[in-house]
Amino acid sequence: MDEDQPWGRTLLSSRPADGGGGSAGGENDPSEHAGRQLPFYHLPVLLQEVVDLLQPAPGKLVFDGTLGGGGHSEALLQHGARVVAMDQDEEALAHASARLKGYADQFCALRGNFRHFPQIVEEAGISGFDGMLVDIGVSSHQLDDGARGFSFNKEAPLDMRMDTDADQTAADLVNTAAEEELVRILFEYGEEPQARRIARAIVKARASRLITTTTQLAEIVAAASPKRGKRHPATLTFQALRIAVNDELAALRDFLAAAPRWLKPGGRLAVITFHSLEDRIVKQTLAHLSAPELDRPEWPAPRPNPDCVLKLITRKPVEASEHEIDLNPRARSARLRVAERLPS
């Protein structure tokens, strides 16, 4: 480890600006950012499970690619590990860095999207990790801060950017994308069965007036696809647009492609997902990277897998306990998968 590493500092300049990466949460704690006071809270999901599986300890260096409110990082630090954390949300970085200022000699925060972590941590003088964690998706703070435009329940500009410096907002997307592109986004990222009907309604509505607010879009979707069951009819549309605006699935694939090379032998990779699209990517990627052999029908016999660098620690995803779900209902959909780097 380079002695000149910036432990205890938050670096805000070293990151390419584009989408992907957040974390889920819930604990009240005021955080001041850009002159306004906001409640910033974070109940980190599957906290004990993450600690048990990543096994933080003195002498270990752990990467937290979705710092959020700092809950996971704090638990890792409490067990003696050093933590290099990253988040693309400047507000989250400001809050978490203040929260964790007591760990100055163990903690370093960097601004950036976790998909770009190799170049960012390399610039900070880091060459490998004993553990790596990402908690995929939008944070509770981002959802509940109406100004961010993630929720259809709050009147706000239709934004949805996790990185507020990124160029494209959800409003840009719904007002400029071709109808077929909107259909693809809603179906692929939201698995919305009424994708074509909703896309058609969006295109019709924007022809007479630009769609600029969350409630305006929610009303258009609700009129095109009436409510069925308890779920709001705009739920899947908002999910799909958020994923598209932040390029979340591609960011996850980029991270998973790079992460194994940064794990030290015996180091562990932990990924928390919140919906089936993300979990499917993680499951399939870890299965491939942990398969000693590959087999195809046209081959006479299985062949060694040149990409086999991991072994699975969790054969099935770890889920939240009923007690945790009672405390934090958003933990219900969380899935944790963990793999370990094989010896070189």
Question: Rounded mean pLDDT of the chain?
Answer: 87
Is residue 92 scored above 90 in pLDDT? Answer: no
pLDDT at residue 5, as a whole number: 55
Is residue 17 scored above 50 in pLDDT? Answer: no
Same CATH fold assignment for domains 10-142+249-341 and 165-244: no
| Domain extent listing, the chain | 10-142+249-341, 165-244
CATH architecture observed for domain 165-244: Orthogonal Bundle (1.10)
Is residue 27 scored above 90 in pLDDT? Answer: no
In 3-state terms, the chain is what percent helix, strand and coil (to 5)? 40, 20, 40
By C-alpha distance, which of 294, 281, 275 is closest to 332?
A: 275
Is residue 288 scored above 90 in pLDDT? Answer: yes
Considering 26-30, 109-113, 224-228, the range whose residues carry the highest mean pLDDT is: 109-113
pLDDT at residue 155, as a whole number: 87
The residue behind tokens 């040149």 is 306
| Percentage of the residues of the chain whose pLDDT score is greater than 90 | 75
The residue behind tokens 């009923």 is 322
Tell me the DSSP string of 180-228: HHHHHHHHHHH--TTHHHHHHHHHHHHHHS---BHHHHHHHHHHHS---
Q: What are phi and psi of 78, to 5 degrees?
A: -60, -25
Is residue 315 scored above 50 in pLDDT? Answer: yes
pLDDT band (50, 70, 90) for residue 38: very low
Q: How far apart are the first and last CA of the chain?
A: 20
pLDDT band (50, 70, 90) for residue 160: very high
CA distance 230 to 32: 36
Q: Can you tell me the mean pLDDT for 135-143?
A: 68
Is residue 140 scored above 70 in pLDDT? Answer: no
Is residue 31 scored above 50 in pLDDT? Answer: no
Is residue 52 scored above 80 in pLDDT? Answer: yes
Cβ atoms within 10 Å, residue 217 = 25
329-341 residue pLDDT tens: 989 999 999 999 9
Q: Can you tell me the mean pLDDT for 177-203?
A: 97
Q: What are phi and psi of 110, to 5 degrees?
A: -125, 140
Cβ atoms of 247 and 321 closer than 8 Å: no
Spatial CB neighbours of 289, under 8 Å, sequence gap ≥ 6: 260, 307, 308, 309, 310, 339
pTM summary value: 0.86
Tell me the DSSP string of 101-135: GGGTTTEEEEES-GGGHHHHHHHTT---EEEEEEE
Is residue 107 scored above 70 in pLDDT? Answer: yes
Question: What three-state secondary structure class fits 344?
Answer: coil
245-285 residue pLDDT tens: 999 999 999 999 999 999 999 999 999 999 999 999 999 99
pLDDT at residue 183, as a whole number: 98
pLDDT band (50, 70, 90) for residue 163: confident
Which CATH topology does 10-142+249-341 take?
Rossmann fold (3.40.50)
Two structure tokens written together for 139: 């944070």
Q: What are phi and psi of 138, to 5 degrees?
A: -90, 145
CA distance 122 to 92: 22
Look at the alpha carbons of 113, 116, 117, 120 in this order and tell me if their dihedral is positive or negative: negative
Q: Can you tell me the mean pLDDT for 101-113?
A: 94
| H/E run at residue 31 | strand 30-33
pLDDT at residue 34, as a whole number: 34
pLDDT band (50, 70, 90) for residue 37: very low
The residue behind tokens 């860095």 is 97
